Amino acid sequence: MAIEHVKQAELETAIERARVRAAKTGELRPGVRDTSVTTIPDAVADFVEQILTDGTYAREVERIGKEDPDLANI
Amino acid sequence: MPTVVDDATLLAILTRRAVPALVMAADAGDVLCTGSWYYRLHRALHDQASAGSLSVMAADLPSATRAALFTVLDDLPVQIVVPGPRLLVPVMGALRIRRRVNFLTAEALAAALISGATIRVTVDAPLLREACIELNIGFEVLTPFA
């Protein structure tokens, strides 16, 4: 139980340090706002919607995960 | 509340075909993705080395469409937050969860913990789901289109 408590405290400390760092650097809140809306050609959006809905992308992710376990959905 | 999204959700957001709430959240700077998921997305669509079926499909697109697709991939809008290793690795290293996770999963957990985000994915991943429960991180499996 005591060990679990120490582990939890270590994680909380690491999170807090990261938040302080992010607040200083703005890494989690990009300061430069790009207000322009990029126009995505319909052909690109159609292709993307197709591969995301027909299972093509999911199969590719599975293949990559077998090739490289650090990129697998586990 | 910020959301950490997986590669498929990111792709739907980038082409602005995701549900309006996600697109608006991304425009507002409330969507994060990880380096691993971003890299996997790029690799799925543009990996000439392994010539996966999707890379071949992308390569077969008309040249203007292919160029526009790769521009979308290469030039993430600044509003999409991708935290770097200086921020994430100390938290990844401090994760003490019951079952060991891979780099991609540890990175997603750390990004969510630091930003107070939920994690939204398109495919269930049991270890990620269990770790989210353990660490009290919101976890959703949803299509980006609904």
The number of folded domains in chain A is 2
E-strand spans in chain B? 3-5, 31-32, 118-121, 139-141
CA B19 to chain centre: 16
Least confident of A23-32, B7-16, B117-126, B127-136: A23-32
Q: Is B125 on the interface with A (CB under 8 A)?
A: yes
Supply the DSSP symbol for B81. Answer: B
Q: Which residues of chain A neighbour B105 with C-beta distances below 8 Å?
A: 74
**A29, HSE (Cβ side, Cα atoms, 13 Å):** 11
Task: Please write the tens of the pLDDT for every residue from B109-127.
Answer: 999 999 999 999 999 999 9
E-strand spans in A2-74? none
Q: Which residues of chain B neighbour A22 with C-beta distances below 8 Å?
A: 83, 87, 114-115
Give every strand in the sheet of B31-32, ordered side by side: B31-32, B3-5, B118-121, B139-141
Give domain status of residue A23, yes or no. Answer: yes
Judgement on whether residues A74 and A46 belong to the same structural domain of the protein: yes
**CATH hierarchy code of domain B8-141:** 3.40.50
Q: Is B16 on the interface with A (CB under 8 A)?
A: yes
Task: Indicate if the pLDDT at residue B43 is higher than 70.
Answer: yes
Q: Which residues of chain A neighbour B2 with C-beta distances below 8 Å?
A: 28
For helices A42-53 and B63-74, give the axis angle rounded to 10 degrees: 70
Task: Indicate if the pLDDT at residue A32 is higher than 60.
Answer: no
Distance from CA of B37 to the nearest CA of A (A): 8
Task: Please write the tens of the pLDDT for every residue from A39-56.
Answer: 899 999 999 999 999 999
- Residue span of the structural domain in which A70 resides: 40-74
Give domain status of residue A35, yes or no. Answer: no
